A = this chain, B = another copy of it.
Amino acid sequence: MSDIASDDMGPWLSEEELELVRRKVPMLYVDVVPVRVGENGTLEAVGLLLRARPEGTITRELVSGRVLFQETVRQALVRHLDKDLGPLALPQLPVSPVPYAIGQYFPTPGEHYLDPRQHAVSLAYIVPVAGDCSPSNDTLELSWFTPREVVTPEITGDMSEGHADLVRRALAHLGRLP
């Protein structure tokens, strides 16, 4: 086991290490609901990533990812927003670290969100995005939806139950649940 526990390892885990840790402890995540706001901060649209899955289906997702070892929550937010929305997105990161919601994902179905890979707990934030978004990697595009559109079955049907619920909780927090 010495190869795994070596002191000079960075925050990145090998696939094998990640598999191991995932069976031992809850993983800490951040979930971000990207939004477009008007001049005075009123909500105009909610952004969702469109991703192609290996099995050929598509899925719509929030900006989401792990908090790494020795990384602050804020650094994790910056990293995932940059990775998923590109370097010109101009996200307005929250001044306060207090999330609007906590997401709890469990590997087996039940009362909480489902994530077959792991037990994860996410800190969820609403982040206004002012610039141009250019999704990268495995993301096909970032699409914007009005508060009314984003909760329709056409859109939520392409989302995981957890992400769809986090979007509705975000709209509720903003006083804009249709």
The complex places the Cα of A174 from the Cα of B1 at a distance, in Å, of 40
| Cβ B175 vs Cβ A169 within 8 A | yes
| Cβ B99 vs Cβ A98 within 8 A | yes
User: Size of chain A's interface in residues, with CB distance under 8 A?
Assistant: 64
Q: Contact check: which of B13, B112, B165 meets A177 at CB < 8 Å? A: B165
Among the listed stretches A18-26, A49-57, A132-140, A152-160, which one makes contact with chain B, having 4 or more residues with CB under 8 Å of it?
A: A18-26
A residues with a Cβ closer than 8 A to B are: 1, 4-5, 7, 9, 13, 16-17, 19-21, 23-28, 35, 37, 40-43, 66-75, 77-78, 92-102, 104, 106-107, 112, 119, 121, 123, 126, 128, 165, 168-169, 171-175, 177
